[in-house]
Structure 1
């Protein structure tokens, strides 16, 4: 019976926490029902409730007006610019990140068609995003493409804060319940049951805290991706690398190879093709000659 009572108490604590997370505060009637069921036989345990705070004045202000949370926005921007000196602009962008209190996430450079190209991603404080974009534009001959976007995570952040408050309240109540179980009953089954619930609550708290820290970091710093293209080179009248003597040598080499191929073919025809044709044609010629001779003999007596 005692073990079953502890299970009921733990269940009551978890239900109260879930009701608080969903925004439905426990009413006095519900609290009285819990006391009527467990007040006599179990040690008094305070069940967490989420009673809404009443304003000091006679009227109650709307929640949106009373609490206007700061917006949490993840800002990202991308630029594609054409520059005269890719290496110099890449160094300038990297120095800009450090100057504004940010850092470089990735930086790549490579040669394409004998020209240097680069791509760099940096993060700067969100309040300095426009300053960074203006400084980067100033390095370009031409801005080929630009985009800025923001993801509002205020709702998620606010919901996580509410869930954290409820989970911490539940954790506190479970700790008190665990202390009471150790002092009053001392049964291992009761202590382990409460400890398992406490472990699950703490895991949820740690996950939500990690998510909040990630959102804080992402909203505090804006991400900028810059694609740096060099200015196209003017095409010369004579393409670099033109070697007429080499072309002449290649043409003579091709002519020589063609002559060799023709001579080789002639040798094959004379040495191989003619004898084979003779061997094939000889029996045919003999058969034709024999047939004509036979016909002449038959025709001679009749004359």
Structure 2
């Protein structure tokens, strides 16, 4: 594709002031024509003017000479530094947001919900003093003692032991174990954890669904309908609320177990338990005499108290006795004596 520009110039005197204007117009026209022309259009080889008008060829040569002079002027001018490319104002904010999203995607959403249980066995010098120290440690760590058992063994060859069930906040678990371990020699120390994150999430989702169902049933009950529909909705509402209360109780129990950890502490004495010495014969005889005299005094007081009770109720006893005697006497006086029939005479056979 070729672009031809044809201009006619009449005879005129050259004017220095108009030359610069003409050069600027020529440069603008050439720039516009090069931008409009397609890249596939090739330029004719230099010196090839076949098929062209001689006047057009001459004008083209003049335009080319003017453009070359303009290029020389531009080349001789000092080159200015290119202007820096300005970034959009929100580019940094967008990069920061993308970085934050990537970090949040890589990191876990929530921490795992764990139920922790610990076991600790200690050998101590004294069970009683160690028990007091355990109580002080638990109070300091804002915990509670759930159970305590201390039994002396029947045999002196067996060591005395005590068991303590402790509950402390989960964040205080390691600190409490370290403090308890300092009371004696550690024989056993263990820790178990159960992840209940899925149970909590599932229970919370079920609870939300049940609450939405409760709202729907309440809206249905508000509408006018038959008595049977209202009764069915009421029964369904009762079942939903029962399920809500049950799941809510399970959630509270799980959260409480997560918030507080339990410690099973076993204390064992370093030496075997010492049995109390058996009392002597004289001490036993003295205890027996004291028990016997106490029994006699108790019997005497009991008989004296019985006599007082009998004396207090004696009028009633006299009335009852007199009535009984009168009834018996009356029966004897009015009783009919029995008549004995005569026996037939005995005959002797000769």
Tell me the TM-score normalized by structure 1.
0.53
Aligned position for 2:261: 222
Aligned pairs for 1:83-232 within 5 A: 83-112=124-153, 113-114=155-156, 116-140=160-184, 142-180=185-223, 182=224, 185=225, 187-232=226-271
Shift of 1:75: 0.5
- Partner of 1:70, secondary structure, is coil
Q: Does 1:71 find its partner at 2:124?
A: no
8 Å Cα contact 2:166/2:262 also seen in 1: yes
1:75–1:66 distance in 2 versus 1, CA, 3 Å? closer
Shift of 1:232: 2.8
Shift of 1:64: 7.8
8 Å Cα contact 1:87/1:116 also seen in 2: no
Larger Cα-atom Rg: 2
Shift of 1:69: 2.9
CA distance in 1, matches of 2:244, 2:272: 59
8 Å Cα contact 2:120/2:190 also seen in 1: yes
4+ residue runs of structure 1 moved beyond 4 angstroms? 63-67
Aligned pairs for 1:233-244 within 5 A: none
Shift of 1:123: 0.2
CA distance in 2, matches of 1:110, 1:222: 26
- Provide the aligned C-alpha RMSD in A: 2.8
CA distance in 2, matches of 1:103, 1:64: 40
Gaps of 5+ in 2: 1-97, 278-350
Shift of 1:65: 6.8
CA distance in 2, matches of 1:228, 1:198: 53
Shift of 1:99: 1.7
- Partner of 1:231, secondary structure, is strand
Shift of 1:233: 5.4
Task: Name which structure has the greater RCO, CA cutoff 8 Å, separation 6+.
Answer: 1
8 Å Cα contact 2:123/2:267 also seen in 1: yes
- Partner of 1:71, secondary structure, is coil
- Partner of 2:250, secondary structure, is helix
8 Å Cα contact 1:123/1:224 also seen in 2: yes
Tell me the TM-score normalized by structure 2.
0.46
Gaps of 5+ in 1: 1-56, 235-239, 242-303
1:233–1:204 distance in 2 versus 1, CA, 3 Å? closer
CA distance in 2, matches of 1:67, 1:175: 38
Shift of 1:116: 3.5
Aligned length: 173
1:200–1:127 distance in 2 versus 1, CA, 3 Å? same
